[in-house]
Structure 1
Amino acid sequence: MAHSSPTEVAVNGNAGGCPIDHAALARAQGCPVSAPAAEFDPFGDGYQQDPPEYVRWARDKEPVFYSPKLGYWVVTRYDDIKAVFRDNHTFSPSIALEKITPTGPEANAVLASYGYAMNRTLVNEDEPAHMPRRRALMDPFTPEALKHHEPMVRRLTREYVDRFIDDGRADLVDQMLWEVPLTVALHFLGVPEEDMDRLRAYSIAHTVNTWGRPKPEEQVAVAHAVGNFWQLAGSILDKMRQDPDAPGWMQYGIRKQQELPDVVTDSYLHSMMMAGIVAAHETTANASANAIKLLLQHPDAWRELCEDPGLLPNAVEECLRHNGSVAAWRRLATRDTEIAGVAIPAGARLLIVSSSANHDERHFTDADFFDIRRENASDQLTFGYGAHQCMGKNLARMEMQIFLEELTRRLPHLRLAEQQFTYVPNTSFRGPEHLWVEWDPADNPERRDSALLSQRQPVRIGEPSTHAISRKLRVASVTRAADGIARIRLESPDGKPLPRWTPGSHIDIECGDTGLSRQYSLCGDPAAPGTLEIAVLREAQGRGGSAWIHEHVRPGGILRARGPRNHFRMDESAASLVFIAGGIGITPISAMARRARELGMDYQLHYSGRTRGCMALLDELAQLHGERLHLHISDEGGRNDFAALLGRPTPGAQVYACGPERMLAALQQACAGWPEDSLRVEHFHSTLATLDPSREHAFEAELKDSGIVVQVPAGQTLLAALRGANIDVQSDCEEGLCGSCEVRVLGGAVDHRDVVLTRNERAAGNRMMACCSRAQGGRIVLEL
């Protein structure tokens, strides 16, 4: 065993550490710890520069391993880490602030001389104490409460950029990204602006003391800084008590102490004061530096943000995923358990590498690819998950959006300077110590456009809506597909490949500045590279989207679109397929039939319309499907007899249908005798999400992973109530059509109002759409 002697490794084999008697095994057969696990060193440059890459071998081959050097079990995959976050009884957060490198007696004596007594905070507290305190202190972090901080963040950001805008070179960390988040943190906490340089030094010392590996000769100096930090936090808190009605989170805590003295105690407030100063600014400063560095390393993404600030919310989320400021968290196993089949003994210390989870291909497609339009970027675990998820996540999101908006608007020509990036060695928090950038001040756009400084992009406080991930598409052609139907072919403006799609997929088209967004099924060839096709019927009684498209979309124009996404997937393993389309419902069905033909499947295609002239794609369908195509044209005496067609179930067959609601209702009746979910339909629109408070009832949603209960009034959707409670849930159509707001249900009956789930999925009762569906009774339990 080359990495260390059997005796050295055996020292770590105590209770809670590695359960293997390495000395005996080494003598008998060689140490069972793999060579990469034995060499794992989170304080080395490899981990500091790129934690996900450093543990790629583990994600691929050994997702849970014991590190003899660290004395911790290391967890690297997304699902395993989320499961650890979810179960804070088995995996206690109590060691989250424990010094990962024990300090010597001299440093400990120094800390004692300052009366240092950092104890429990929201980060490292077990139940049952944690959730009552979290609930008591959470309100200032909700999106609604954070809104009034936005003008202050904008003003500070503008002032700091003004200081270097004409210099042509700056260290963004030293000149903006540390001081602005620190000032925002102090304002949020209600702390008077003290000596920032001193607080910065104290904050770094706290990070090194808790998560780093200071050398013996450094430990005493670090201890003095931490002790001074502790005393400063206490003196600031004493001043705050003299004016408890002043604005700020700490003053809010002081007022809550008067209301709940057993929940919000003196020692708790002191610990939260010190931890809050670090948590509220250091992680945001690092995350912002990481994001700007990452974007400037991907010039195409930077350019897109400069051109379209609407992409900022999701770009922030993707930066947090790809290169966040929190590399890992720590947990303590409270009982013998297993993670991914690996036995973990009671007392084991865990390093859960959340940055590795954020690069797990099992959850994030093409995970190493930086994609500011990634639809599930907000699944990132940088903020943690569940009951201990970072309460300040939305303050950080706000600051990062504003920093990026200011820089992309005022310095679109920004570039990275030549430099070596260095990081403060520690297991958990990372960001470059310096970030040098350059630009030519003569090219600053505000020198030519004075109105530039008056522009601002609305900040999304909370998780990004999928509305924030649209892409520009050029209209390659607009042709007549039938009476009143325009066939529109779209392509990438820069010639780059467009996302691949499968039959049944749709895209969401934004109708200019109208605020309208409408979903249209894709009808072209899924195998055709670089193009997307839709066919749009102009509906006189529609909601305005189709009229806008017919009036404004012209070849050469630019549209904004989201997707493709697919909630109407075709089962390619079915024994046979029956496709049924009515009117413009032929669009998704045509792509499905094309795919069935390519696969050589047994299928038939039935297409109904009022007149031949109003039926789209007829020539193409006839050429592709020949005798398999059956037309049912009303003014030619043809009607589709669903009872005759579907009266007798066909074993192994699936029926796919899209068309008017009346047609779909008739199909539901005709297929009543078929096996569950043999009929799958795509709806044009839904009114089921409309709330009538006089007919609804209030209910409560227990969020199992977060440990809180959310009240949902009769006049509010579950989605709105969750967002009001600071819970991240994606959404898009908010009509029950698209499926993006799906949440998992653990208990309680669901009043389903979407048109996404199948009958079987509804009957299973373990999924619901938060935008429209509700609880049948007074309570529902969700996996959130």
Structure 2
Amino acid sequence: MALSPTGCPVSPEAAEFDPFDAPYQLDPAEALRWFREQEPVFYSPKLDYWVVSRYEDVKAVFRDNVTFSPSIALEKLTPAPPEATKILEGYGFAMRRTMVNEDEPDHMERRRLLMDAFLPENLEKHEAWVRELVRDYMDRFIDKGRADLVGEMFREIPMTVALRFLGVPNEDAKELRKFSVAHTLNTWGRPSPEQQLQIAEDVGQFWKTAQTILDRMCADPSGEGWMYDSIRMHNRHPDIVPESYLRSMMMAILVAAHETTAFATTNAFRTLLSNRESWNDICENPALIPSAIEECLRVAGSVVAWRRIATEDTLVGGKKIPKGGKLLIVQASANRDPRHFENPDEFDIYRHNSAEHFTFGYGAHQCMGKNIARMEMRIILDEFVRRLPHIDLVEDQSFEYLPNTSFRGPTSLWVEWEPKQNPERRHHAVLENPTLFHIGAPIKEDIVRRVVVAEVKREAEAVIRVGLVDPHGRELPDWTPGSHIELVSAEWRRYYSLCGTRDDRNRLSIAILREPQGRGGSVHFHDTVKPGDILHIAGPKNHFHLDETATRYTLIAGGIGITPIIAMADRLKALGKPYVLHYCGAGRRTMAFLERVERDHSAALTLHAGDEGDRLDLPSALSSLAEGEQVYACGPERLLEALGSLAEKWPEGTLHVEHFTARSNILDPESEHAFEVVLADSDLTLQVGNHQTLLEALTAAGVDVPSDCCEGLCGTCEVAVTDGSIDHRDLVLSRTERDANDRMMACCSRAAGKRLTLAL
């Protein structure tokens, strides 16, 4: 039996793992499915790497770029034979440190100096010419009826954009295009000794051509483009931006900007055209393009895996990694981890957290060009859904991939269409008023799904149940107990728990309590929603997960709080788990789903109708909690506060609650103070004004922090705090968690003092 470098036995599955075998090359996430579940961190003898496959473990490695050095990111995976090395030496090949593979503090010193061109506000000027470029390429084949999109444009446009962004003249582009693919195979592939010789020739030619161009730019550094910016920074700060860095980056950034975006665009089109309903949805509503792109990057990203080396003995996912241990961190696998993404194998352009994928990496080394790639892909897709919405994949075509561990995309993508159906032949205004996209991560308010109101039924006094279906009769997403959707109508957006039956994938059901003294949303929905109406929803999302491993459960619902609780009771009954259900209300007439609760859960049910004098005595009902028992509750704030007081004596993690509404989260600048926030992982310092939230300040600086409710209810925007005192204003963290002072909700909580340090 094979042993790992730590002396532990290697499992038969790990011993057989080879990333150059067909399963990984065809679908790396699927190839690692068993490992995600059974052995999330394992040593591969064939690769001599530790392979990391789960979301949280991949994130932990990316975050700590001191313990896990990026220095081997561009190291050749397959050692070169002496003959290949000699060929490269003949071309003067001298690839050194770049933004990708350098350690701290050098990395962040250089990154700060060279980051300006990548900021969203500085990318806006490129949008118009990128769109013109896309249109020019489409004009060349739009009347043909058949095209290989890779050969016709997807390979060409990212290279052209990259060269212009760098400031490289068009006349030099042809030579660079010829050789860029060789660098991918040379670094991340397993070429034969004979192939290595030709690859070495191509890489050498690539290097020589890039250096010749750079020499010309250095001779006259007055031009416009990122390489000119870098040359000028070299002249001002030669100790931070040395000449060797310029020479290495000239080659590395072309590969990064060209290959990854070309592959990502190809993968996205193949994915969308294979999911025709999603393609039709974005044709109907191009505002969905940003979220569709993020979902494509999640399920079929072009960057499959990256590499790190441990600088000391450490742990990853509980597995011992020795100093010098090399890690293959597989983003493609993390992007399909069910612990982070619900229904991860389903392609869903309405997924609320798609942008949390790792295709762009994470932390200090997150891809600087992520927003250039997003911009290109969005514009290309927008032009296609306008001009060629009727394209189809050519049937029975085969897809070939460059054999390597880290980058993935087919070498061709054939599509066909009927030119006579081209919209611009009938409507000359097709090219007018293109969709304008915000530069950066998708705007969450735009990620909404159209639904039809199938039913509105009164469930109790002041409570209606609303049934929602897809306009085209399609299945709606699966959901888990505790899930909610955000219902959108006109200017109203409100959260409602799902309370239907999970075995009906064609319908989502919510219940709405009319609250005349509320903020107006419930009254609007009560007064206006009727069968046949078109509404929009975001989700489903779940911030109130049911832990199915507990030994026993107490469920407590107060009033409309029955909506998530009834779904939990249904699930526990199906699992055969022991549970009790306390359902409280002012009176039976006000208690929604009462008939269903009594019918399906009578053996576990205790009703507490206030007008019958039967009020819930919480201390008595919870006096004999068994070891391992969990309590789930949803209801009025006074009920949850009483439970919170009781839970102070219980083991941590016993109580789980969901709040109806947040406390007042309106920011009053006159009563707030500004503070400084240090992003330790990114080596950045930001100022948070008294007029803005921490989340707003992070977003404005281009730091992607996921968020949802923005009211301190859901926990989505949680960030880790390593130093500084926190003014907690959320309804997510328990008292013990607040006292730990190591995390906060960026949407509402603030610094208690003048400074916070975050692990971002």
Do both share a fold (TM > 0.5)? yes
Question: Would the aligned equivalents of 2:68 and 2:309 in 1 still touch at CA under 8 Å?
Answer: yes
Task: String of CA shifts for 1:729-753, please: whole Å, max 9, x gaps.
Answer: 1122322233322223344332122
Q: 1:728 to 1:601 in 2, by over 3 A?
A: same
Contact in 2 for aligned 1:321/1:380 (Cα 8 Å)? yes
Contact 1:94 1:125 in 2 (8 A): yes
**1:497-544 CA deviation, whole Å, 9 max, x = no partner?**
4344455542101214x4x42222344456665433333355666555
Quote the Cα distance in structure 2 between the aligned partners of 1:194 and 1:350.
40
1:51 is aligned, of 16, 22, 28, to 28
Would the aligned equivalents of 1:44 and 1:425 in 2 still touch at CA under 8 Å?
no
Deviations 1:644-669 (A, max 9, x none): 8769974439583534xxxx358737
Alpha-carbon distance between aligned partners in 2 of 1:573 and 1:665, rounded to the nearest angstrom: 28
TM-superposed deviation, 1:93: 1.4
Query: Greater shift after overlay, 187-196 or 585-594?
Result: 585-594
Query: Which residue of the partner structure matches residue 25 of structure 1?
Result: none
Of the structure 1 ranges 122-131 and 502-511, higher mean CA displacement relative to structure 2 is found in 502-511
Q: Once structures 1 and 2 are overlaid, which stretch shifts more, 766-775 or 330-339?
A: 330-339
8 Å Cα contact 1:144-1:724 kept in structure 2: no
Counterpart of 2:648, as a letter, is: P
Segment drifting more, 537-546 vs 433-442: 537-546
Aligned match for 1:227, one of 204, 208, 212:
204
Query: Which secondary structure state, in structure 2, belongs to the residue aligned with residue 272 of structure 1?
Result: helix
Please, which of 171, 180, 196 is the counterpart of residue 157 of structure 2? 180
Is structure 2 residue 533 aligned with structure 1 residue 557?
Answer: yes
The residue that corresponds to 2:696 in the other structure is: 720
Residue 490 of structure 2 corresponds to residue 490 of structure 1: no
Gap change, CA 1:65 and 1:645, over 3 Å in 2: closer
Structure 2 residues not aligned, in runs of 5+: none
Q: Distance in 2 between matches of 1:332 and 1:575?
A: 44
Quote the residue 1:668 is aligned against.
641
In structure 2, how many angstroms separate the alpha carbons of the residues matched to 1:287 and 1:358?
15
1:607 is matched with: 585
1:389 is the counterpart of 2:382: no
1-side partners of 2:368 and 2:176: how far apart? 22
Contact 1:293 1:416 in 2 (8 A): yes
**Higher mean C-alpha displacement, 59-68 vs 745-754:** 59-68
State whether structure 2 residue 485 is matched by structure 1 residue 510.
no
**Which residue of structure 1 lines up, in the alignment, with residue 557 of structure 2?**
579
* C-alpha distance in structure 2 between counterparts of 1:616 and 1:19, whole Å: 59
How far is the alpha carbon of 1:326 from its aligned partner?
A: 1.5
Aligned partners of 1:710, 1:489: CA distance in 2, in Å? 45
| Alignment equivalent of 1:286, drawn from 259, 263, 266 | 263
Per mean C-alpha deviation after superposition, the further-off stretch among 165-174 and 199-208 is 199-208
Matched, 1:200 2:173: no
2:746 is matched with 770
The worse-fitting range, judged by mean Cα deviation, of 432-441 and 214-223 is: 214-223
Letter in 2 for 1:302: W
Asked if 2 retains the 8 angstrom alpha-carbon contact of 1:18 and 1:68, the reply is no
**Shift in Å, 1:327:** 2.1
Cα deviation for residue 157 of structure 1 reads 1.8
Structure 1 pair 689–208 and aligned structure 2 pair: CA distance change class (3 A) = same
1:478 paired with 2:451, answer no
1:314 maps to what in 2?
A: 291
1:124 matched to 2:97? The reply is no
Equivalent residue, structure 2, for 1:698 = 674
Distance 1:705 1:318, change over 3 A: same
Cα deviation digits, residues 395-448 of structure 1 (max 9, x gap): 212222222222233222221113221122222222111111111112223333
Give aligned pairs, total: 746
| Deviation (angstroms), 1:366 | 4.4
Distance in 2 (CA, whole Å) between partners of 1:362 and 1:523 is 23
1:669-728 deviation line (CA, Å, top 9, x unaligned):
797566368887654444643223333223333334444443323322211222233322
**2:730 aligned residue:** 754
Structure-2 change in CA distance of 1:190 and 1:489 (3 Å): same
Q: Which runs of 5+ in 1 are unaligned?
A: 2-8, 21-30
Larger radius of gyration: 1
What is aligned with 2:406?
428
Q: How does 1:447-458 map to 2 (within 5 A)?
A: 447-458=425-436
* 2:230 counterpart (253, 260, 263): 253
Q: CA, structure 1 residues 154+573, in 2 after alignment: closer, same or farther (shift >3 Å)? A: farther
Matched, 1:658 2:631: no
Give the Cα–Cα distance (whole angstroms) in 2 for the partners of residues 743 and 646 of structure 1. 34
Change beyond 3 A, Cα 1:665–1:248: farther
Closer, same or farther in 2 for the Cα pair 1:346/1:505, shift >3 Å?
closer
Whether the aligned pair in 2 keeps the contact of 1:657 and 1:679 (CA below 8 Å) is: no
* Pairwise CA distance, 1:368: 3.4
Distance in structure 1 (CA, Å) of the matches to 2:699 and 2:740 = 26
TM superposition shift of 1:386: 2.0
* TM score, norm. by length of structure 1: 0.84
Matched residue type, 2:299: H
Q: What CA distance in whole angstroms lies between the structure 2 residues aligned with 1:338 and 1:551? A: 57
* Residues 557-590 of structure 1: per-residue CA shift (max 9 Å, x gap): 2221122334346788666555333xx6665566
1:710 aligns to what? 686
Q: What is the aligned counterpart of 1:400 among 377, 382, 401?
A: 377
Match of 1:419 in 2: 397
For 2:710, the equivalent position in structure 1 comes to 734
2-structure distance, mates of 1:740, 1:443: 44
In 2 relative to 1, CA 618–56 (structure 1 residues): closer, same or farther, beyond 3 Å? Answer: closer
CA distance in 2, matches of 1:645, 1:19: 52
Instruction: Provide the residue aligned with 1:5 in structure 2.
Output: none
- Structure 1 residues 694-703 or 291-300, which shifts more? 694-703
For 1:60 and 1:654, locate their aligned partners in 2 and report how far apart those are by CA, in whole Å: 27
Provide the C-alpha distance between the structure 2 equivalents of 1:608 and 1:589, rounded to a whole number of angstroms.
18
CA contact (8 A) 2:584 2:607 kept: yes
Shift of 1:267: 1.8
Deviation at 1:55, TM superposition (A): 4.3
Measure, in 1, the Cα distance between the counterparts of 2:231 and 2:435: 35
Q: Partner amino acid for 1:739? A: G
Further displaced range: 171-180 or 103-112: 103-112
- Judged with a 3 Å threshold, the aligned counterparts in structure 2 of structure 1 residues 736 and 114 are, in CA distance, closer, same or farther, namely same
Distance 1:40 1:666 in 2: 53
Aligned to 1:4: none
For residues 52 and 599 of structure 2, the distance between their equivalents in structure 1, rounded to whole angstroms, comes to: 55
**In the alignment, is the contact (CA less than 8 A) between 2:176 and 2:210 conserved in 1?**
no
1:531-550 correspondence runs (5 A): 531-537=507-513, 543=519, 545-546=521-522, 548-550=524-526
Check the 8 A contact 1:737/1:756 in 2, yes or no. Answer: yes
Q: 2:280 aligns with which of 303, 320, 327?
A: 303
- For the residue of structure 2 that corresponds to 1:517, the secondary structure is strand
User: What is the root-mean-square deviation of aligned Cα atoms in Å?
Assistant: 3.8
Closer, same or farther: CA 457–536 of 1 in aligned 2, 3 Å: farther
Deviation per residue, 1:258-279 (Å, 9 max, x gap)? 4433212222122212211111
Partner of residue 721, structure 2: 745
- Encode CA deviations 1:185-223: one digit per residue, 9 max, x unaligned: 122222222343322112112222222344444444433
Q: Matches of residues 20-39 of structure 1 in structure 2 within 5 Å?
A: none
Map 1:75-94 → 2, pairs under 5 A: 75-94=52-71
Match of 1:27 in 2: none
